[in-house]
Amino acid sequence: MAKSLLFDAETEEVGEICKALGHPARVQIMTLLWKKNKRTCGEIVDLIPLAQSTISKHLLELKKANLVTIHYKGKKTIYSIEVNTINVLKNYLKSYLSTIEIPEEKKSTVLTTTYRVRGRNSHFKQYNYQFPHKNQNSRV
């Protein structure tokens, strides 16, 4: 017999939000909507190299988690961020992170390196920048 846990409403809501944000494409969609709210699916497809049907499925998952709202303008479907839901996540994370103490010596940033990098573009490599479209062996 499987055990079933009952969680409070806020924990359930945060779980659903995190589950919906568990895919990089959905995080990217939310980022695009945050930069410019009220976009159509077509506008999002123009900015993310995925099929329209795939973007639509991701938008549906975001809608189910109440992260986006839908408005109809004629034949167009407009997607917007549901700010109240984002605030639930923001408040939860602020509350959670305020309870965690990290010793100063354990803190690190992307700028910290423990290795010495030499060669062309080494100033990029030390900051962990990656350019996957560039062939490391070719010269520009």
- Residue type present at position 90: K
Q: What is the DSSP letter of 70?
A: E
Given this model, what pLDDT does residue 74 score?
93
| Average of per-residue pLDDT across 29-47 | 94
Q: CA–CA separation, 107 vs 98, rounded Å?
A: 15
The class of domain 9-96 in CATH terms is mainly alpha
Given this model, what pLDDT does residue 140 score?
44
pLDDT grade for 41, boundaries at 50, 70 and 90: very high
Tokens of 84: 């109240």
Q: CA–CA separation, 84 vs 17, rounded Å?
A: 12
Write down the pTM of the prediction. Answer: 0.66
Cβ atoms of residues 38 and 79 within 8 Å: yes
